[in-house]
Chains A and B, each alone.
Chain A
């Protein structure tokens, strides 16, 4: 029984960087370019893993520890989310809270490492990241709480593996609101286009990219991998709402799940190619929409 869960976990660890390749390829097709190979992020990560990092004299051990802690926190969070409607690797009552805190811990260490460099440029990025997290985090938490209330389960794995699909019939409007909130949070947390632009290195527009600017070599590999896992993690929450308990058998379910993740990555690529980045002052407004949706979703479960 445990075997499938370990296999799912390993599978999501292996596939997650692939989704970035899909996003980039979609963007390239929209721009009329040929685009980087699908496996580009794997090449980058392996190349960087072979290199050693350079540390400035102003940094402290915090800076060295941060990328690995952040990656570790994200992997712990990943072990809590179910895969294709099947139970997650680890699950216990109320692990919802741990899930949210692991994401917060990962963010905290990225931010504190950015501040640790002593560069005002990175401080600016850290400030923006935290400012937007103020809106994105409660939105994610409240959406999960809404699902948890409706499902009567307090563990991420139980919510998604047992009852997420059946909620459509009893709590249809609420699930729609949660989906909306999840999508906005998904774009914001993965620093995608309406909020942040992963391509630019202009100080006016950077949020996530600027914070990891001083990481190099193996640290950068960890950071890139953590970003890829975070993408998978939040994406699988979004997709997980559509997945019920076992339907076609394990193998086919997994294939459907991975294909829908790839479709989600394509949608992100389309959003990135067709939408403009919001002005920084407008970003809180966008995130407050997610917050409003999630609050309304929680209220809808009160009946």
Chain B
């Protein structure tokens, strides 16, 4: 069984790298959705013979939300905002890919050093969860479009969820549900916000958004 967990871990890692090296936002959305769904499958595999509300309802909600609802919301926002490609990040996509690998190496080192809350179920998956978390953070800081930053945010959450799965003996239904609800609301709001921003300003490039300043506040700088 540990073998399967390792396979899922490596697949999640490869999805990180794919999301980092892809310039099409649509495929990024799909990759992160698939990643979320895949991580959602872990508890099902982990507790396979045992059927209880915690091991069935919660993973199912998770898989449906991350694998179906979020991509649907994001793809709708993409269509509404009429964007397809991300702007070239600093250093280009090959550099991003190498950064992804560097992040994984770093997280492996960190995981081997840190004495966490108990022994992780799989060191590889613990490292992958860290790497997913940091890759999400890296996507947020390196990409220009608001919608890609939402994708980074989702990936970051995937990392946190995987981390919980690896370290905790069992999920606390209440905590996980409240996190999921938070994320759901966040993605929902961001989907709407992106649509409105793009309708007002014809783009969702955050580089340009940061130039919006209050004339009174900045004074003669303008």
- The verdict on A234 contacting chain B, using a C-beta distance below 8 Å, is no
Whether B108 contacts A289 by the Cβ 8 Å rule is no
- The verdict on A152 contacting chain B, using a C-beta distance below 8 Å, is no
Whether B7 contacts A300 by the Cβ 8 Å rule is no
Residues of A within 8 A of B17 (CB): 289, 292
Residues of A within 8 A of B9 (CB): 173
Contact of B6 among A173, A285, A296, A299 (CB under 8 A): A173
What is the minimal beta-carbon distance from A279 to any residue of chain B, in angstroms?
Answer: 13
Task: Indicate whether A296 sits within 8 Å of B10 (C-beta atoms), given known contacts A172-B3, A303-B124.
Answer: yes
A303→B123 CA distance, assembly (Å):
8
Residues of A within 8 A of B108 (CB): 299, 302
What is the minimal beta-carbon distance from B103 to any residue of chain A, in angstroms?
Answer: 11
What is the minimal beta-carbon distance from A302 to any residue of chain B, in angstroms?
Answer: 7
- The verdict on B98 contacting chain A, using a C-beta distance below 8 Å, is yes
Whether A292 contacts B123 by the Cβ 8 Å rule is no
Residues of B within 8 A of A288 (CB): 94, 97-98
Residues of A within 8 A of B127 (CB): 299
Contact of A300 among B21, B98, B124 (CB under 8 A): B124
What is the minimal beta-carbon distance from B70 to any residue of chain A, in angstroms?
Answer: 26
A84→B6 CA distance, assembly (Å):
29
Residues of A within 8 A of B47 (CB): none
Q: Is the interface of A mostly helix, strand, loop or mixed?
A: helix
A172→B11 CA distance, assembly (Å):
12
- The verdict on B100 contacting chain A, using a C-beta distance below 8 Å, is yes
Contact of B105 among A284, A291, A295 (CB under 8 A): A295
Instruction: Across the interface, name the chain A residue whose C-beta is closest to B107.
Output: A299
A84→B47 CA distance, assembly (Å):
41
Contact of A285 among B13, B94, B104 (CB under 8 A): B94
Residues of A within 8 A of B3 (CB): 172
Whether B21 contacts A285 by the Cβ 8 Å rule is yes
Residues of B within 8 A of A289 (CB): 17, 21, 97
- The verdict on B190 contacting chain A, using a C-beta distance below 8 Å, is no
Whether B10 contacts A299 by the Cβ 8 Å rule is no
Residues of B within 8 A of A73 (CB): none
A289→B17 CA distance, assembly (Å):
9
- The verdict on A43 contacting chain B, using a C-beta distance below 8 Å, is no
Residues of B within 8 A of A292 (CB): 17, 97-98, 100-101
Instruction: Across the interface, name the chain A residue whose C-beta is closest to B92.
Output: A285
Instruction: Across the interface, name the chain B residue whose C-beta is closest to A286.
Output: B94
Residues of A within 8 A of B7 (CB): 172-173
Which residues A149-195 have CB closer than 8 A to chain B? 172-173, 176-177
Whether A284 contacts B94 by the Cβ 8 Å rule is yes
A96→B32 CA distance, assembly (Å):
38
Whether B101 contacts A295 by the Cβ 8 Å rule is yes
A176→B108 CA distance, assembly (Å):
20
Whether A299 contacts B104 by the Cβ 8 Å rule is yes
Interface string of A268-303 (1 = CB under 8 A from B): 000000000000000011001101100110011011
Interface string of B1-23 (1 = CB under 8 A from A): 00100110110011001000100
Whether B94 contacts A173 by the Cβ 8 Å rule is no
What is the minimal beta-carbon distance from B48 to any residue of chain A, in angstroms?
Answer: 19
Residues of B within 8 A of A172 (CB): 3, 6-7
Residues of B within 8 A of A302 (CB): 108
Residues of B within 8 A of A284 (CB): 94
What is the minimal beta-carbon distance from B80 to any residue of chain A, in angstroms?
Answer: 30
A213→B108 CA distance, assembly (Å):
47
What is the minimal beta-carbon distance from B120 to any residue of chain A, in angstroms?
Answer: 11
With a 10 A CB-CB cut-off, give which of B7, B98, B101, B127 has the most chain A CB atoms: B101
A300→B97 CA distance, assembly (Å):
18
Instruction: Across the interface, name the chain A residue whose C-beta is closest to B20.
Output: A292
Whether B97 contacts A296 by the Cβ 8 Å rule is no
Extra contacts besides A288-B98, A292-B17, A292-B98 (8): CB < 8 Å = A172-B6, A176-B10, A288-B97, A295-B104, A295-B105, A296-B13, A299-B104, A299-B105
The 5 A-B pairs of least Cβ separation, nearest first, read A173-B10, A288-B94, A292-B101, A285-B94, A295-B101
Q: Write 10 A-B pairs (CB below 8 A) sorted by A numbering.
A: A172-B7, A173-B6, A176-B10, A288-B94, A292-B17, A292-B98, A292-B100, A295-B105, A296-B104, A299-B104
